[in-house]
Amino acid sequence: MTVVIQTQDADTTAANDPLLSYTLSTTPSPLKASPENPQAPEEIGEIVISVARQSGTPADVEWIRVKVPAGTMAPDLATDLTKISPRISLTGWTVRLDATAKEFVCTPTGSHAPIGPDTGFTIQLSDIPISRKVGTAPITVTERSRTGSAAFQNRPSVFNLGKFPADFYLRNFLCEPSIIPNGGDVLLTWERSANATYELLYGDVNRDVTNRTSLPLEGIKSDTTFYLRATTGDPTNPVIRILSAQVSVIKPDLDIGNLTVHGDTVLNGTLTSNGPVESPTAIGDFNAGISSRYYTAECYGMLFAAGFNNTRVGSGIQFFPTLKANGVEVKTTVDPMDQGSVSLLLRKGERAEILASWRGGTGVPEGLSGGIYWIPLGIG
């Protein structure tokens, strides 16, 4: 069954967005254009519009109109609106054809009726004689509605329904396996007719697969939805059908925007930033004559300490920093020629102790010093 998602008119503003939500489905899927030979019987189709109120506040509705273009051109859906059998499942409502406006008008018994979140219903148009020209027909659903004591407004939604050639088909689009390890491979397969062009779309990829019915893909690292798009008919009014398939990746790579973490974060790999990370901020210094200094993190970030003038001429002394926080002690593990440095990741509010240590020589190397730097990784 074809499912068409609600789309808004280009001129629609937030003030007159529909208060009800609409999902349109067709039988058959997709609709078939009738044979071009006018002597041949017409193809018959059906439209079902599922209607619901998503908000908890009821909406008052005066009427709902469904405009169906009729005629012999590509944008026309039906050849004759009088042959269509309309029906609405909502108790107390009726539906009739306004032939002049080419609309099916649904109205309640009174001047208006409330539609709440528990009042789902359908509008069904059966026995539609489908137009003989391949193309895409716009179906406009307009509600006249309001909430509270506001004025009633006309609120349109537009659905584009394709009428495909009689011998067109696109089906059984599969991704196997559907669950893979990070970096695994998949095989996409589908069935299709030869009278269309086909494209595979995923991520930033748009690949022509017109002459294929399968495609292996290697090294998938994140959850991916694949879209198979078929295009046929007159280029000035083409018809498009899209099928989708998904693959889920165990421990996927992630490429996201902003991230807020309210629990613990464990990093088992290397932390790399490709974005605008703030430069380290000098927040103080320390020297070998002071046993320790303390710093309390104002946000999530990295505390960094580095020794200066590490080797004093003639003394044989090397100067190193050590960081301690929450029972964790981090020391410089190498013997650098010029500088020893160390870093420690801190959460907001954690208090770190910066200690000075040295190796070699005798006495307290009071002339040696180090710097303390803070690299913020968040705002709280």
Which residues on adjacent β-strands are paired with residue 287? 369
Q: Contact 344/321 with Cβ under 8 angstroms?
A: no
In angstroms and rounded to an integer, the radius of gyration of the C-alpha atoms of the chain is 34
Q: Which residues contact 72 (CB under 8 A, 6 or more apart)?
A: 79, 131, 132, 133
Q: Is the dihedral of CA 362, 363, 366, 371 positive or negative?
A: positive
Per-residue pLDDT of 261-318, as tens digits, reads: 777 766 666 555 454 445 566 666 666 555 567 778 877 787 777 765 444 444 555 5
> Quick one: pLDDT at residue 311?
44
Q: Contact 126/112 with Cβ under 8 angstroms?
A: no
For residues 380 and 376, give the distance between their C-alpha atoms in angstroms, rounded to a whole number.
9
Point out the residues of the chain with pLDDT beneath 70.
Answer: 1-14, 265-292, 307-321, 326-328, 331-340, 356-370, 378-380
Dihedral Cα 101, 106, 109, 113, nearest 10 deg: -120
Write phi, then psi, for 83 (nearest 5 degrees): -85, -10
For residues 143 and 160, give the distance between their C-alpha atoms in angstroms, rounded to a whole number.
18
| 3-state DSSP assignment of residue 82 | helix
- Count CB neighbours of 253 within 10 A: 11
Q: Burial code of 267-291, b = ≥16 C-beta within 10 A, e = fewer?
A: eeeeeeeeeeeeebeeeeebbbeee
> Quick one: pLDDT at residue 10?
42
> Quick one: pLDDT at residue 250?
94
